Amino acid sequence: MDGTTDRFTGFVRRAHDAGHLVVQPRMGFGELHRMRAGLRAVRDADATTVGTVTLDSYTRCHEDGAALRALRERPADLNGFPLLAHGVPAVRTLLQEVASAGFPVQIRHGTPRPVRLLRAMAEADADATEGGPVSYCLPYGRVPLARAVAEWSAGCELLAARPVPPHLETFGGCMLGQLCPPSLLVALSVLEAVFFREHGLRGISLSYAQQVHPGQDLEALAALRRLADERLSGTAHHLVLYTFMGVFPRTGRGSRRLLADSARLAVRGGAERLVVKTPAEAHRIPTVGENVAALAHAARAAEAEAEAAAEAAAGSAEGAARWSPTESGLYEEARTLVDAVLEPGGTVGACLLRAFARGILDVPYCLHPDNANRSRATIDATGALGWSRAGGMPVTPAPTAAAAPVTAGQLTELLGFNRRRYDGRSPDAPYGRAS
């Protein structure tokens, strides 16, 4: 690793070269001592880990007074870490005590207006952060997309001006968590990555969230890798998979199966990093112990899958061949979306604004005023996620897609697809449409 490579990028690269999947929690606590203890526990987990500091909702929404009052009066009630309320010196000390080249830490925030937070992170010497002008705007409120693009442009340039810019991860591949067809997730992740590079960032990761069909997810990860390699040539980049972000199984057994399958998917799909969820996700904010247990569970599943893949390559195992990638033209559809957005020329930010204004990009079921909301998605008879209505996008709905609008009851059924499947099926049951 040379002096221009950030610690986060370098750590993930070394872990991948050594054959290890990096696993990471989604974890944040209000009090400094709890955040410190949580990071140390993650560092010491039986897995190859990076740390996470997830910010609280007051800080994300720039409600500084509310965050400060909560920190003083009821810090245990905060749903994350109030970075600005603690102040840069305290956060810098926290990171100096815990983070290192062998355990880099990412700060996760969730705001469409990131400049103040990115400045504070940079001054605290954080290793990495994440988000994006689209993915941290459309699902999170009513901030105009143009304002988000402007702030993210300024924020990226602020980070790029550091002697060693921190790592930046796109969140575009996690749009809405579920019911966004993979071609659009791939396209948005690539577009945000190109946006980051245009503004000077050199260490980038591209996200993708596990959906409902393993074969389709494998095809999506291959498409994301191919497009990233094409569009980010010469820029250090890797893929990060998210354990399913939608309605989670209610049972511990179902949750653990879903988590293990996401780890297997990461290994089979060549992702270098996995952001996990815990069995507690369906009920409450998980404890440190639950986060550490989820990391270890994911790491064991990843190791077993890697061993099975090696045995299969040697012709002595069949388990690693359980999933095969679909061949639906997902790469071509995602590339068409990216090309259609960037074809007019100009900055990537300007292209994104034009694309949403014209409906060339359109996130299904997203109610943000700058989103056309004319596209729709559904889960087909094979259990794959696809388009039922294209709106103005250059994508092709399934030939059998229903023309009638999706009712509230049908939408609820779609949202609960993975919960029903993992809570109800036996571990060895084949994947397919839920009963």
Q: What is the pLDDT of residues 17-27, one digit of tens each?
A: 999 999 999 99
Q: Token pair of 204, please?
A: 């980038």
One-character DSSP codes across 290-332: HHHHHHHHHHHHHHHHHHHHHHHHTTS-SGGGS-----SSHHH
Q: Which residues contact 28 (CB under 8 A, 6 or more apart)?
A: 35, 52, 53, 54, 55, 56, 79, 80, 81, 108
Task: Please give the Cα distance from 200 to 194 (Å, whole number).
Answer: 10
How confident is residue 403, by pLDDT bands cut at 50, 70 and 90?
low
Confidence (pLDDT) at 321: 46
Do 370 and 138 touch, CB atoms closer than 8 A? yes
Residue of higher predicted confidence among 40 and 379: 40
- State the helix-helix crossing angle for 145-160 and 348-358, rounded to 10 degrees: 160
- In our burial notation (b when 16+ CB lie closer than 10 A, e otherwise), range 148-172 reads bbbbbbebbbbbbeeebbbbbbbbb
For residues 27 and 428, give the distance between their C-alpha atoms in angstroms, rounded to a whole number: 31
Q: Which amino acid is at 419?
A: R
Could you tell me the pLDDT band of residue 435, with boundaries at 50, 70 and 90?
very low
What span, in angstroms and rounded, lies between the C-alpha atoms of 241 and 302? 13
Please give the helix or strand (H or E) that residue 356 lies within, else none.
helix 348-358
Band (pLDDT 50/70/90 cuts) for residue 401 is low
Closest CA to 49 of 301, 306, 299: 299
pLDDT in tens, 149-207: 999 999 999 999 999 999 999 999 999 888 899 999 999 999 999 999 999 999 999 99
Alpha carbons 203 and 197: distance in angstroms, whole number: 9
- Dist CA 362 CA 226 (whole Å): 23
pLDDT band at 310 (very low <50, low <70, confident <90, very high): confident
- Which distant-in-sequence residues (6+ apart) come within 8 Å of 415 by Cβ? 178, 179, 246, 247
Tell which residue, 203, 238, 164, has the closest CA to residue 4: 164
| 118-143 average pLDDT score | 96
Question: Average pLDDT for residues 251-278, to the nearest whole number?
Answer: 95
The candidate with the shortest Cα–Cα distance to 204, out of 234, 163, 161, is 234
Strand partners, 159: none
Q: Cα-Cα-Cα-Cα dihedral of 122, 128, 133, 136, to 10°?
A: -110
Q: What DSSP state is assigned to residue 81?
A: B
Cβ pair 16, 34 in contact under 8 A: no
Residue 27 CA to residue 226 CA, distance in Å, equals 31
Average pLDDT, the chain: 92
In this prediction, residue 361 has a pLDDT band, given cuts at 50, 70 and 90, of very high
pTM: 0.94
Q: Is 96 exposed, middle or buried (0-12, 13-18, 19+ CB in 10 A)?
A: exposed
Q: What is the pLDDT of residue 433?
A: 34
Q: What are the C-alpha distances in Å from 249 to residues 256, 415, 425?
A: 9, 11, 11
